[in-house]
Chains A and B, each alone.
Chain A
Amino acid sequence: MDKKEYFFDKPGNRKMVNISLYLFIALLTVADLFIHKHPHFPWEGIPSFYSFYGFISSVVLVLIAKYILQPLLNREENYYD
């Protein structure tokens, strides 16, 4: 392990990444109020629909993967040998 400090070793930089994400999200939510949407489907008209959908999709994917799929499908590495 070398002693050199890299970009993300400094806690300030990591905080900066997190904060820029939150700022970006705030910006998007505000922008949503000003756009003209042409909804193909009824749900697209809801403000910030894709935000919720993206968040829920990711969470659902991870939960299903972790609690259903991994217990069912994981095996030790030499299972087939």
Chain B
Amino acid sequence: MTNLMPPGLMFILGALLVPFFKGKFKSVYLLAIPIVTLLGLLNMEVGSSWSFSFMEQSIVLCKVDKLSLLFGYIFSIISIIAITYALKVKSAGEHMSALFYAGGGLGVVFSGDMFSLFIYWEIMAIASTFLIIASKTKSSYSAGLRYLMIHLLGGLFLVLGIILHFKKTGSISFGYIGLTDMASWLIFIGFGINCVFPFVHAWLPEAYPESSVTGGVFLSAFTTKTAVYVLLRAFPGADILIPVGVTMTVYGIFYAMIVNDCRRLLSYHIMSQVGYMVTGIGIGTEMALNGAAAHAFTHILYKGLLFMGMGSVIHMTGKRRKSDLGGLYRTMPLTTIFYLIAGVSISAFPFFSGFISKSLIVTAGAESHMPLVVLILTLVGAGTFFSTTLKLPYSVFFGHDSGLRPKDPPGNMLAAMGMAAFLCILLGWMPKLLYDILPYPIDYAPYTASHVVGQFQLLAFSALAFVLLVNYGIYPSETRVINLDTELIYRKGVKNLVFVIDKCLIFLCDYMILVFHQKIPEYLTKFYTNPLQFFRNILNMNSSEVSNVGAMKPRLMEGTIFWFFLLFVIYMVLVLF
């Protein structure tokens, strides 16, 4: 079966028909789109198809190889899960935005040329903005606006880079680029903004917590992982990615320790885990690249499950701050269990999915003789377990009783969470399923005795630390606060800068008005009515004492009006001669 339609287009065109279905038919149709796409992907052959000529360049809409198939599979799978989670959402617009967004992601993954990549990239940016403002709160509108601006700025960098790259190479095919010249750096930055590089990352923890509960699941999966895919394709082995990635892992973990909004904590963990992937891309060996791709695969699943778990809590309680929640395991047992499954997956607990993917990256780092990188990634691994699986569930599900007794969320949400949890466990027990679809050949056995025991030691003692710290009361406080991040620069910084510029401009304008509308006409009138007197006045600066003309002393010419007059004379001289 040859390719029926490029997968991205299938989602996007399918989205257009959503408003025509109602009720049960809508649910069936919504689920049919990703399922049919996934079935089509399973039958795809490696190679290029759906290409045509446009302005003497070839646009390739469907370039298939192992890397793009891997991402295509996981994007389709998470679309099935997230659409199941969102089945009860009434707004057709939100479903369409989600499908456009997912379609954009699939489009990027399968595009063989940079023109279509850019189009799909921008579709993703705009569609995801709608998912953020779908929750219709004031803060979501302002966060969505900032999100859109940052992503459009990233798109600008990207398109500039693409144009320069095209001028240099004469082709727009998308493949390995490598960090060589200005064009490649511009493309790199454009990708990096979506990939939450440090200092351009602030949009992620700002915007994702504001999104709708169901939209958040889509958001967590696509933007960042699409960026990981393009980095894998275009800049594998770029050495700068190693310190960038390691910084991301640490940055995310520290902020995750102090934030109060539960989905903001998970967003910082996205940054942390994407840091692992970026480090893997930077290391550049086949095992590291395999690790980055595998980690993206497993991450989409367990991060989606984490967002679904917290989303269910928000959906059923209406509260999103950790400080307001607590003791929910009593009436939400299934959500608790599903959340904990995701939590141990992200922590690379043996026999869950994270273990088989994170280990690839860390082992690749070890084999490339990077002790500092391995140490930091292991530290962050312990911190991830502490923060996601111990601290957050303790605040939300266990811990002090907030008195809330919400029930478990509706059946479709539970089914979606169940699917994701099942896959997390399945991959943990049968890593071969994932290893077989990795882009490069792999010869790695994650379940060695030393590795399993070492990992359990890391996690168990992290748990011990948690128990002791809580018992002795040394624990980051949970109050209703927000934390500053680099968004400070453009939220407060630009606001203040605009204020200062505003005041200066107002002052300057007022002064100009004074000079041009008052003073100059005043003096010109005096000049034309009585020129001689005018000059005497200039020299004396005393309009009434005409008789003192003899006692003229050369005095300092005062007054700005004199200088304006002088400038006028000089100008006339220059013009006339």
Interface residues of B in 436-493 (CB under 8 A from A): 449-450, 453-467, 469, 474-477, 479-485, 491-492
| A55 to B: closest C-beta gap in Å | 4
Contacts of B477 in A (CB 8 A): 66, 70
Measured between C-beta atoms, what is the minimum distance from A56 to chain B in Å? 8
Q: B458 and A50: CB pair below 8 A?
A: yes
Whether A54 contacts B481 in the complex (CB less than 8 A), given A8-B329, A35-B453, comes out as no
Contact of B460 among A28, A35, A70 (CB under 8 A): A28
Contact A54 B466 (CB under 8 A): no
Q: Contacting B476 at CB < 8 Å: which of A50, A51, A62?
A: A62
Q: Name the one of A36, A41, A63, A74 contacting B474, with C-beta atoms under 8 angstroms.
A: A63
- Nearest CB in chain A to that of B448: its residue: A38
| Contact partner, A57, options B383, B456, B484, B485, Cβ 8 Å | B383
> Which of B38-46, B51-59, B374-382 is near enough to bind chain A?
B374-382
Contact with B along A26-44 (1 / 0, CB 8 A): 0010011001111011001
B489–chain A nearest beta-carbon distance, Å: 12
- A32 / chain B contacts, CB cutoff of 8 Å: 453, 457
> Looking at the complex, which one of B253, B254, B330, B469 makes contact with A59 (CB distance below 8 Å)?
B469
Q: Which of B363-383 contact A (CB under 8 A)?
A: 366-367, 371, 374, 378-379, 382-383
Task: Given the known inter-chain contacts A51-B458, A57-B382, please indicate yes or no for A62 contacting B453, CB distance below 8 A.
Answer: no
Q: Which of A6, A59, A69, A77 contacts B465 (CB 8 A)?
A: A59
Q: How far is the CB of B343 from chain A (nearest CB, A)?
A: 15
Nearest chain A CB to B462 CB, angstrom units: 4
B174 — which chain A residues lie within 8 A by C-beta? none
Is B475 touching A21 in the complex (CB atoms < 8 A)?
A: no
- B185 at interface, CB cutoff 8 A: no
B residues in contact with A48, CB < 8 Å: 457
Chain B contacts for A66, CB-based, 8 A: 474-477
Instruction: Please report the C-alpha to C-alpha distance between residue A4 and residue B484 in the assembled complex, in whole angstroms.
Output: 41
Q: Which residues of chain B have C-beta atoms less than 8 A from A69's C-beta?
A: 254-255, 257-258, 483
Select from chain B the residue with minimum beta-carbon distance to A72.
B484
Given known A2-B405, A66-B474, A80-B491, contact A52–B258 (CB-CB < 8 A): no
- Give the residue name and chain of the B residue nearest to A21 (CB): B463
CA distance A31 to B398 in the complex (A): 31
Interface bin, chain A: 35 or more
A59 to B257, CA, bound (A): 12
**Which A residues are CB-close (under 8 A) to B47?**
none
Most chain B Cβ neighbours within 10 Å, of A24, A53, A57:
A57
A55 contacts B371, CB within 8 Å?
no
Q: A35-B449, A61-B383, A73-B483 are in contact. Are A55 and B254 (CB under 8 A)?
A: no
Give the contacting residue for A28; candidates B398, B403, B457; CB below 8 A. Answer: B457
A37–B401 alpha-carbon span in the complex (Å): 44
Q: How far is the CA of A61 from the CA of B191 in the complex (A)?
A: 30
CB pair B449 A54 closer than 8 Å:
no
Whole-angstrom distance between the alpha carbons of A40 and B366 in the complex? Answer: 6
Residue in B closest to A78 when the chains form the complex, CB atoms: B482
- Judge whether A79 and B453 touch: CB under 8 Å: no
Contact of A74 among B469, B483, B491 (CB under 8 A): B483
Q: What's the Cα separation between A79 and B487 when bound, in Å?
A: 12
Structural contact, B329 and A37, CB atoms closer than 8 A:
no
Whole-angstrom CA separation of A73 from B477 in the bound complex: 13
Which residue in A37, A49, A51, A64 is a CB contact (below 8 Å) of B254? Answer: A64
For B203, what are the chain A residues with a Cβ–Cβ distance below 8 Å?
Answer: none
Judge whether B386 is part of the interface by a CB distance below 8 angstroms: yes
Query: Is the C-beta of A75 less than 8 angstroms from some C-beta in chain B?
Result: yes
Q: How far is the CA of A50 from the CA of B459 in the complex (A)?
A: 9
Among B255, B329, B455, B457, chain A packs the most CB atoms within 10 A around the CB of: B457
A8 to chain B, nearest CB (A): 7
Contact A76 B457 (CB under 8 A): no
User: How far apart are B382's CB and chain A's nearest CB, in angstroms?
Assistant: 4
Question: Which chain A residue has the least Cβ–Cβ distance from B405?
Answer: A2
The smallest beta-carbon distance between A29 and chain B, in angstroms, is 8
Which A residues contact B (CB, under 8 angstroms)?
A: 1-2, 4, 6-8, 18, 21, 24-25, 28, 31-32, 35-38, 40-41, 44, 48-55, 57-59, 61-66, 69-70, 73-77, 79-80
Can you spell out 29 A-B residue pairs with CB atoms less than 8 angstroms apart? Answer: A2-B405, A18-B467, A21-B463, A24-B456, A24-B460, A28-B453, A31-B453, A36-B450, A37-B450, A38-B450, A50-B378, A50-B454, A50-B455, A50-B461, A51-B458, A53-B382, A54-B465, A55-B461, A55-B462, A55-B465, A59-B465, A61-B379, A62-B386, A66-B475, A69-B257, A69-B258, A70-B258, A70-B476, A79-B484
Instruction: List 19 other contacts, CB 8 Å, given A49-B454, A54-B460.
Output: A18-B467, A21-B460, A37-B450, A40-B367, A51-B460, A54-B382, A54-B457, A54-B458, A55-B462, A57-B462, A59-B469, A61-B253, A62-B257, A64-B254, A69-B254, A70-B477, A73-B485, A75-B483, A77-B481
4 tightest A-B contacts by CB?
A65-B257, A58-B465, A54-B458, A54-B461
